Amino acid sequence: MSDLSQAMGIHPSSIYAAFGDKQALFGLAAKRYADVPAQYMARALGQPTLREFILAAFDNTVEFLGSKEHPSSCFTLTGAISCGIDTEPAKVLMREMRLQNEVAIKARLLKARNAGEFPKEKNLDDYTRYLSSLLSGLAVQAANGSTKAELRRTAEVALRHLGIER
């Protein structure tokens, strides 16, 4: 809170008065993240075909993570990992946001299955977790310092393993 107070040039009591406690402020930051920068996945989910969705999911993730406009990595991952032991509500919120993203991915895969684009014999839950793991892995690599070009090459490897060609 002291870092935030110093960065904003206001007294911590003013922050508390405006936003409530730390958890409330964190929740508002998470909502802002979901509503604005994290819309890159919503744009991918709206693609008309499964192939276009998967390509957009990787392309948009690389663009987002490689952008100089915000810190590298994903708020829902690094926000939860960097939390201390007294911040269980923040960890729960980040987990819920990640799981909501998986629900959206699974719904998109189900739509693809209904359209005949996704094989009936493939397990939707497993494939959803796999896609989520690959995309989250890019966020971890970005946090580790991978460049946009490196992230793009890593995404291309993942796409080849998924059987998605450009």
- Provide the CATH number for the domain around residue 122: 1.10.357.10
DSSP 28-57: HHHHHHHHTTTHHHHHHHT-SSHHHHHHHH
**Weakest-pLDDT range from 97-101, 129-133, 159-163:** 97-101
For residue 94, the model assigns a pLDDT of 80
Q: Is 62 helix (H, G, I), strand (E, B) or coil?
A: helix
Q: Which amino acid is at 112?
A: A
Mean pLDDT for all residues in the chain: 86
Tell me how many domains the chain contains.
1
Which pLDDT tens digit goes with each residue over 117-155?
999 999 999 999 999 999 999 999 998 999 999 999 999
Examine residue 33 and state whether it is found in any structural domain, yes or no.
Answer: yes
Examine residue 51 and state whether it is found in any structural domain, yes or no.
Answer: yes
Question: C-alpha angle with apex 78: 28 to 17, nearest 5 degrees?
Answer: 25
Examine residue 8 and state whether it is found in any structural domain, yes or no.
Answer: no
d(CA 99, CA 96): 5
Task: Evaluate whether 75 touches 38 at the Cβ level (below 8 Å).
Answer: yes
Examine residue 3 and state whether it is found in any structural domain, yes or no.
Answer: no
Task: Evaluate whether 124 touches 108 at the Cβ level (below 8 Å).
Answer: no
Residue 102 has pLDDT above 70, yes or no: yes
Which pLDDT tens digit goes with each residue over 12-55?
888 888 888 778 777 777 777 667 666 889 999 999 999 999 99
Residue 70 has pLDDT above 80, yes or no: no
Boundaries of domain holding 29: 21-162
Q: Which among 97-101, 105-109, 136-140 has the top mean pLDDT?
A: 105-109
d(CA 103, CA 134): 16
Examine residue 6 and state whether it is found in any structural domain, yes or no.
Answer: no
Q: How far is CA 72 from CA 50, 119, 123, 143, 162, in A?
A: 27, 35, 32, 6, 25
Residue 112 has pLDDT above 80, yes or no: yes
Examine residue 9 and state whether it is found in any structural domain, yes or no.
Answer: no
Q: Is 66 helix (H, G, I), strand (E, B) or coil?
A: helix
Examine residue 80 and state whether it is found in any structural domain, yes or no.
Answer: yes
What confidence tier does 83 reach under pLDDT thresholds 50, 70, 90? low
DSSP 82: T
d(CA 53, CA 68): 24
- The residue to which tokens 């930051």 are assigned: 29
What would the two tokens of residue 17 be? Answer: 């008065």
Examine residue 11 and state whether it is found in any structural domain, yes or no.
Answer: no
pTM, two decimals, is: 0.80
d(CA 96, CA 76): 9
